[in-house]
Structure 1
Amino acid sequence: MDRRTILNALTVGLFGTMPLARRALAQHHTMAPAAVPTDARGVLVFAAATLKPALDAIVAAYRAKEGAEVTVAYGPTPALAKQIENGAPADIFLSADPVWMDYLAERRLIRRHTRADLLGNVLIVAERGSPSANPPPVIDRDFPLATLVGAGPLCMCNPADHPAGRYGKASLEALGLWDGIAGKIAIASDPQAAVVMVAQGEAPAALVFATDVKDVTGMRIAGTFPASSHPPIVYPIALTMAAPHAEAAERLLAYLRSPEARTLFDRYGYT
């Protein structure tokens, strides 16, 4: 399978079994992966769509510093992992959770010795409005989520396979909030698509990562989920077993784990 086929195929979206009207609404606002030249050369990185703003800046800095050729293809983590399983020529996989990295590891499709936990994040509920000077409240069992969502929908990723959706449902269940909003959910292909729906006034709230609303005009954090309410949010990274540009990919991987890159990730709100 060549790069052109793979990069074109990354527009695939994954949706769950929510009501058709809400699924169609979310699909309408799907964020397509970043435009990638069909003649992409050099190291090819498959990265979770939520990482795009930060990773674009970091890769640009790396290109300027090293004069290296790097292409990043963004998409939902499950779709990216499946593409690698199907023979995509990715050199590096940067996942939004350990589950899909484990999926590839179990199939011997990543180089285990290169695997590392690169980043963390914070799970939030986002709404329209101006950011407050005060820290947002921590969501607990008494948080008025049902009131905030109203008639809905609450936009979130698919709990069946998307990291953000999986973390989100785990938190809502742990805090006893799931049953009150389960029938008001619209599935989005990625967190940015969920944010777009809220920003455009088509939904009152979205369950996403804190980095997804950072510097987004007209959006604010309504509440943050306690880390104890969900599995640790971890972004693992690794070289693929079939990496066509392994040596160059190892150099890029080392840079992504460097203090210089860490400073840039911090600037975009990662933990």
Structure 2
Amino acid sequence: MRGTRAQRLQGMLVAALLTVAASASAEDRVELFAAASMTDAIDRMVARFEASHDVEVVPVYAASSTLARQIANGAPAEVYISANVEWMDWLGEQGVALTERTDLVHNRLALVAPADSQQKPFAPGDDETIAARLGEDARLAVGDPAHVPAGIYARQALQSLGEWETLAPRLARAANVRAALALVERGEAPLGVVYSTDARASDTVRQLGLFPSSSHASITYPVAVVGERPSDAALTLRRWLESDDAMAIFRAEGFGT
């Protein structure tokens, strides 16, 4: 009997220790959902942050729309960075608690071509049209304008420049901006509309020119902590994203701060 009781007490102690360990582990692990265009910058930031904090950061990248829908459906995101304010607003409208929200950085919209193409520098809105640069049969790679922020900005810009009706049937619609970039990198599309930071991150595309800032809404990336009871680790990461170290990385990757 004594042996059985001792074994039970030992088992209870082990279970309690495992529960505490699991809670501590969960407290020191943060899931960061970020727009696909932030992949390179966030990867660098995670390495820098983890080097000085006893916290594991797990980044998840996709289109802002995809991430927002996943969070609304219960995905365990603790910090969310969107490539536009609309998807952050939408998430709040779904009843998801968002705190410590602020506008983090800005970006520009760029026209790109494969690095080895013969395309000459070209700023959309100049005398020549994008359609003329595409030729008769080729497609323009973009994030899907139905929901991907980069595609939404592209649609606004093309409408402003009077090219939307001509180019809408000729779009190669991608699931996110990095997928649109990949179409140009592989030569499957001779031109693409991506962020200037995406063009900068790739060795196999060349930026032809920037769209006028006035042709589309401001490309703003809001950040917020997700959930009614955020962990200390999530709050620490969220606040660190506004630090001088973080901003230096954002600027090095081409974002406007």
Normalised to the residue count of structure 2, the TM-score between the two structures is: 0.83
Residue of structure 1 equivalent to 2:4: none
Residue of structure 1 equivalent to 2:34: 47
1:153 aligns with 2:139: yes
Q: Is the 8 A contact 2:27 2:233 kept in 1?
A: no
Q: 2:79 aligns with which of 78, 86, 92?
A: 92
Structure 1 runs, 4 residues or longer, greater than 3 Å off: none
Could you tell me which runs of 5 or more consecutive residues in structure 1 were left unpaired when the two chains were aligned. Answer: 1-38
Residue of structure 1 equivalent to 2:240: 255
Q: 1:57 aligns with which of 37, 44, 49?
A: 44
Question: How far does residue 233 in structure 1 lie from its aligned partner after superposition?
Answer: 0.4
Q: Is the 8 A contact 1:110 1:238 kept in 2?
A: no
Residue of structure 2 equivalent to 1:109: 96
1:191 aligns with 2:177: yes
1:229 aligns with 2:215: yes
Between structure 1 and structure 2, the one with the greater Rg is 2
Q: 1:202 aligns with which of 164, 180, 188?
A: 188
Identical residues among aligned pairs (%)? 36
Task: Determine helix, strand or coil for the equivalent of 1:152.
Answer: coil
Report the number of matched residues.
228
Q: Is the 8 A contact 1:49 1:190 kept in 2?
A: yes
Q: 1:85 to 1:258 in 2, by over 3 A?
A: same
**Distance of 1:144 and 1:179 partners within structure 2:** 13
Task: Determine helix, strand or coil for the equivalent of 2:141.
Answer: strand
Task: Determine helix, strand or coil for the equivalent of 1:155.
Answer: strand
**Distance of 2:27 and 2:208 partners within structure 1:** 40
User: CA RMSD for the aligned pairs?
Assistant: 2.1
Task: Determine helix, strand or coil for the equivalent of 1:166.
Answer: helix
**Distance of 1:161 and 1:72 partners within structure 2:** 21
Residue of structure 1 equivalent to 2:11: none
**Distance of 1:219 and 1:228 partners within structure 2:** 25
The structure whose residues are more often helix, as a share, is 2
Q: Is the 8 A contact 1:91 1:242 kept in 2?
A: no
Q: 1:70 aligns with which of 57, 66, 73?
A: 57
Question: How far does residue 157 in structure 1 lie from its aligned partner after superposition?
Answer: 1.1
Deviations 1:184-205 (A, max 9, x none): 1111111111111111111101
**Distance of 2:201 and 2:145 partners within structure 1:** 26
Task: Determine helix, strand or coil for the equivalent of 1:58.
Answer: helix
Question: How far does residue 76 in structure 1 lie from its aligned partner after superposition?
Answer: 1.4
Q: Is the 8 A contact 2:72 2:91 kept in 1?
A: yes
Normalised to the residue count of structure 1, the TM-score between the two structures is: 0.79
Question: How far does residue 48 in structure 1 lie from its aligned partner after superposition?
Answer: 1.0
Residue of structure 2 equivalent to 1:24: none
**Distance of 1:87 and 1:123 partners within structure 2:** 32
Residue of structure 1 equivalent to 2:249: 264
Question: How far does residue 62 in structure 1 lie from its aligned partner after superposition?
Answer: 0.2
Question: How far does residue 242 in structure 1 lie from its aligned partner after superposition?
Answer: 4.2
Q: Is the 8 A contact 1:77 1:100 kept in 2?
A: yes
Q: 1:239 aligns with which of 225, 238, 243?
A: 225
Question: How far does residue 177 in structure 1 lie from its aligned partner after superposition?
Answer: 1.4
Question: How far does residue 89 in structure 1 lie from its aligned partner after superposition?
Answer: 1.4
Question: How far does residue 110 in structure 1 lie from its aligned partner after superposition?
Answer: 3.1
Aligned runs of 1:125-144 on 2, under 5 Å? 125-129=111-115, 137-140=122-125, 142-144=127-129
Deviations 1:201-254 (A, max 9, x none): 1110111101111141231111211111111100100011245x5211111011
Task: Determine helix, strand or coil for the equivalent of 1:269.
Answer: coil
